[in-house]
Structure 1
């Protein structure tokens, strides 16, 4: 037997009703809805999309296949790309992944690309920020009330900053790159 859910009472205090959870309020704002309920499917406008060197190349490939080789991303200032998995290695395939990110960020003029680029002088690259989940917070990409989607299962750690944050797959990320929106189930 399924557990009983108590009926919620909603009270209006502005644009979003107070009878919703924090997640429902964030998703309501992002979907421009007054009220959301568990089980609703809504299109949300994404505030930040993060990807890295593991999933980024696949997401970029899907974006180019579905939107065209010359397509532009929905907002170059809302995309964060951080190589942090396949770094400091001599593996050519791993280095190829980072090169794909570099090329894409150059083509798209992505503002927040935190490159690991080897400066060949044994000094830290000031553009590199380290592990993506730490860098998102340290660089100001985690903001209360916003939607952050990332191609990593640990993306949800950014929820500690009062935002809705969740991991998504390459296909979803490719779609977000082109539209800035994603269909989510509340």
Structure 2
């Protein structure tokens, strides 16, 4: 488990499957977690070390494509356009990347799609999915608004008027949405 300081309290920032099986949750206070399970291992977060590791992993991914970018605090974006055939196709390339990360001890998810947004949603909400061209809307429609990567305030406003899935937003008329929630 990894902890971080939130105001004056230490809280769970990340946990593995074993910790989840113990019914520990992200955001839970470390004191509460230790009261439930005194023997748990807790390591304090080190964002700078995490960033250096992520940069190293991005450099390592250059073997697959020269277009690698860091995505947020814990993700990588690889533009594999024109590269997949060198690894036996999309599925073979994705499988190789996942296996190599897993062999190094990383818990990873991947998504591959024609658009960056669909690839991100596939990785974050489906894990290890390849989205065929033209199927982006089918992928996104049942997903929560978080899959659209919109601002939290806008997402909360959309949810407050009953638009809780990406499909609901996609089906709504554009002009009234833009007037009420902005062009973004």
With normalisation by structure 2, the TM-score equals 0.23
More helix by share: 2
Give the TM-score, by structure 1 length: 0.23
Give the number of the structure whose alpha-carbon radius of gyration is greater. 2
